[in-house]
Amino acid sequence: MSARMPRLTPVRAVVAAACALAAAFVTLPLIVLITHTSPSALLDAAHDPVVLDALRVSLVTTAISLGIVVLVGTPLATALARGRFPGRTLLDALVGLPLVLPPVVAGLALLLAFSPTGPLGSALSPLGVRVPLTEAAVVLAQCFVAGPFYVYAVSAGLIAVDPAVEEMATTLRAGPWHVFRTVTLPLIRPAVAYGAVLSGARALGEFGATITVAGNLQGRTQTMPTAIYIAFERDPEGAVALAVILAVVSFVLLLGVRGLHLARAAI
């Protein structure tokens, strides 16, 4: 039984007030959003081919981006946390640059770099590869903007791991990859899950960089956030229905990942 009320100390009162404020701050605008739409508008939106296309584009590109971020971001985070090389601090700060850059500026930078006269675009152009205004540009924008969330989370997780544990495994003649998989990875699993959730959520909601470098074409580069922006100018009520759908899909995904993670932690 834990029915006994804890004594209200000033510290507990401040904590409770902060929790209540934060909960209200996040939920109130969302409740207003949901009450602004009707079940019939939601149903219409859920059957609208534009919405279904946008949802598909958003989920597919986010999945690909997250895969790339994990594949490239994990070794990068390891280097940042463990590496002893000149310029490590500089690299660490560079990785975080997209976090402070306004997304539209990030999109413009990518557009100029990958334009046919840009440094990367001019190298790809002879191979017949065009990146801007394609699905690849959507993924590019998402990786650029969402990647740092994953790298910083995993890097922080790695810093918290006592290197002595890994050294012990190495003295038992385990190879570096074996040590990473069997010793380090289980220890940083919460940081990896946390980073992937943050990064995936950011990629799913990405708008400014995406519309700048990838443009807007239904079924190809039009993501949910772009579709919401376009709908907002055409039919604000329809846009609210779309926004509710994106919020619900995001919430279900978050709940699923967090639930899976908590269940695993409880084992």
Which is closer to another protein, CB of 156 or CB of 217?
217
Task: Check residue 36 for interaction with another protein (CB under 8 A).
Answer: no
> Would you give the end-to-end CA distance of the chain in angstroms?
23
Closest-CA residue to 222 (of 145, 143, 137): 137
Q: Is 230 in the site for another protein (CB under 8 A)?
A: yes
User: What minimum distance in Å lies between the beta carbon of 120 and another protein?
Assistant: 12
DSSP run (H or E) holding 104:
helix 103-114
Contact region with another protein (CB under 8 A), list: 81-89, 147-155, 183-191, 230-238: 230-238
Q: Does 114 interact with another protein (rule: CB under 8 A)?
A: yes
Any residues with CB less than 8 A from the CB of 247 and at least 6 apart, and which? 30, 33
CA atoms within 13 A on the CB side of 78: 13
Task: Check residue 234 for interaction with another protein (CB under 8 A).
Answer: yes
Nearer to another protein, 192 or 211 (CB): 211
232 binds another protein (CB under 8 A): yes
CA distance 222 to 78: 34
In the block, tokens 């690299």 appear at: 91
Nearest approach in angstroms of CB 244 to another protein is: 18
Which amino acid, residue 3? A
Look up tokens 């650029």; give the residue.
Answer: 144
**Considering beta carbons, is residue 56 or 264 the nearer one to another protein?**
56
Distance CA 223, CA 248 (A): 16
| Per-residue exposure over 74-90, b if at least 16 CB sit within 10 Å of its own CB, e if not | bebbbbbbeeeeeeeee
How many CB atoms are located within 10 Å of the residue 27 CB? 10
Of residues 114 and 194, the one with the C-beta less far from another protein: 114
Pick between residue 137 and residue 197 the one whose CB is nearest to another protein.
Answer: 137
84 near another protein (CB under 8 A): no
Question: x/- string (CB under 8 A) for another protein, residues 190-219?
Answer: ---------------------x--xxxxx-
Q: Measured from the CB of residue 243, what is the shortest distance to another protein in angstroms? A: 14
Shortest gap between Cβ of 205 and another protein (angstroms)?
18
Binding footprint of another protein on the chain (CB under 8 A) = 111-112, 114-117, 130, 132-134, 211, 214-218, 221, 229-230, 232-234, 236
